[in-house]
């Protein structure tokens, strides 16, 4: 599985098993499972979509044993 980030950080692309999947930075941030955006006990969202800047960008992304790790600028 390979991961790449668009030059401006607006989206990332995952290539796996001959399939290409593209994910927008806003969507990834809205669906992230970190302590800043989700209640770890029950998964409830702690932010609303309107709280995410439309200017958000992906600065780093890598595949780990636990899944996809994304860092936002």
Strand intervals (E) in 1-73: 2-5, 11-16, 19-24, 58-64, 67-72
Q: Scanning the structure block, which residue is given the tokens 């044993």?
A: 65
pLDDT for the residue numbered 1: 83
Specify the higher pLDDT residue, 29 or 1: 29
pLDDT tops 90 at residue 16:
no
Residue-wise pLDDT for 30-44, tens only, equals: 999 999 999 989 999
Report d(CA 4, CA 42) in Å as an integer: 31
DSSP code of 48? -
What pTM does this model have? 0.88
Helix (H) or strand (E) holding 25: helix 25-30
């Amino acid at each position: 599985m390979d991961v790449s980030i668009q030059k401006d950080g607006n989206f990332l692309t995952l290539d796996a098993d001959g399939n290409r999947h593209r994910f927008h930075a806003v969507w990834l941030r809205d669906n992230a499972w970190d302590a800043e955006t989700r209640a770890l006990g029950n998964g409830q969202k702690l932010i609303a979509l309107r709280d995410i800047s439309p200017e958000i960008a992906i600065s780093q992304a890598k595949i780990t044993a636990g899944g996809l790790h994304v860092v936002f600028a």
